[in-house]
Amino acid sequence: MTPSHPPISGASSRRLGFLLAAGAAVLFSAKAILAKFQFRYGLDALDVMALRMGLALPLFALLAVRESRRAAAPLQARDRALILVLGVLGYYLSSLLDFWGLQYVPVSLERLILFLNPTFVLLLGVVLFKRRVARREWVALAVSYAGVALVFVESLRLEGDHLALGGALVLGAALAYALYLALSGELIHRVGPLRLVAYAMLVSTAVTAIHYVIARDPAGLLRLSAPVYGLALVNAVLCTFAPVTMTMAAVARIGSGAAAQLSALGPVSLLFLRGWLLGESVSALQVLGTAVVLCGVLLLARPAANSVPLDPIDDPLPGQAGNPPGR
C-alpha cells in the first residue's frame, strides 16, 4: 500500500498530527450533513455543488498561487492535460454524483460507499496496471463489500425504493474518484499534493460553472435565503478547504499511513451525527455493517497488507485509504 511520508519528529507534533487527521476526517464527512440541510431549502445537487465550489474558489486560488511560487519547475504540457482530466473526474463528476446520490440515501450509507475508495483503487490497479493482489487483500475486499451489502439491505428496509438509485449514484462517485486516484499517482510526485489539489479544484470550479450556466439561470443563486448561504460557506471553508490543509499537515507529522487509518472516524461520526442532527434512525444492523466495512478497509490500509511487491509507479497516492485531500 502507500508508503508513509517521513513524519515531523516530536511527541507534541505527533499528537497535533493525530488531532488534525481526526478532525479532517469528521469535517470531510460532515459535508453530507450540510448538503441534507440545504436540500430542505429546495436546492438540488447542482445548486449545492455550485455554491460549495464558488465559495471555496478564492481559497483554492490563493493556495494555487502559493504552491506555484514554491514549485521548483513549471508544469509540462502533459501535466496540464492530465490535471484537466483529473479536475473533471475527481472534483466535478465525483462530487456531482455524490451530492445527487445524497438526495436519495442516508449520509451514513453515502460515507460507507465512499470509504470503499481503497478497494476500488486496488481493483483499478488490477485492471489498468496488471497489479498482482495478495490473498489477504482479496479477503479484505470481501469483508468490506459484505459490510456495505449488510448496511444497504437494512437501509433499503428503512428508507424505501429510491435507495437503489441513490446508492448507484454514490457508487459512481466513488468509482470516478478511484479513477482520479489511480491516474494521479505519478503526477502527485512531480507536482506536489497541495498544488495538484488546488489546480484540480480550479478546473472543477470552471466546469461546474459552465454546467450551471447551461442548465439554469445563474442569477437564481443570488436569490437564496441567508441560511442557505451560511450552510454553503461552512461547507466550502470547514468541510472542503480546511480538511485539505489539515490532512496534509497531519501527513507531515504522522505519515500518510496513520492519517489514512484515522479517516475511519468519518463514517463512525456520521452514525451519531445523522441521528442527532438529521433525525435519521440508526439500527443495530447498520452499526454492525459499518463496523464490518471499517474492519475490511483498515485491513487493506495496513502497511503490511500487501505481500506482493509493487514498483514505485504502481503506488497510487497518499491518502488513498479513506478520504484523500479535497474529497
For cell 456495505, name the residue: 148
Q: How many CB atoms lie within 10 A of CB 194?
A: 21
DSSP H helical segments within 134-162, as ranges? 135-159
- Looking at the predicted structure, is the pLDDT value of residue 118 above 80? no
Average pLDDT, the chain: 80
Report pLDDT digits (tens) over 124-154. Answer: 777 777 777 777 777 877 877 787 777 777 6
Which DSSP letter does residue 10 get? -
Q: Find the mean pLDDT for residues 276-288.
A: 71
Which DSSP letter does residue 83 get? H
* Res 188: pLDDT: 83
- Looking at the predicted structure, is the pLDDT value of residue 320 above 50? no
Which of 285 and 254 is assigned the larger pLDDT?
254
Q: Given phi > 0 = left and psi -120 to 50 = alpha, else beta, which region is 325?
A: beta
* Res 63: pLDDT: 95
Contacts 24+ apart (CB under 8 A), 214-222: 215/46, 216/46, 218/50, 220/47, 221/47, 221/50, 221/51, 221/54
Which of 169 and 17 is assigned the larger pLDDT?
169
Percent of the chain at pLDDT > 70 equals 80
* Res 161: pLDDT: 65
Which of 299 and 88 is assigned the larger pLDDT?
88
**Gap between the Cα atoms of 160 and 223, Å rounded:** 33
* Res 282: pLDDT: 67
Report pLDDT digits (tens) over 247-256. Answer: 888 877 887 6
* Res 155: pLDDT: 66
* Res 324: pLDDT: 46
Q: Which three cell numbers stand for residue 111?
A: 460515507
Ranking 183-187, 214-218, 283-287, 312-316 by mean pLDDT, the lowest is: 312-316
Which of 47 and 314 is assigned the larger pLDDT?
47
* Res 310: pLDDT: 36
Taken in order 237, 92, 269, 271, the sign of the CA dihedral is positive
- Looking at the predicted structure, is the pLDDT value of residue 257 above 80? no
Report pLDDT digits (tens) over 158-199. Answer: 666 688 888 899 999 988 988 887 788 778 888 888 899 999
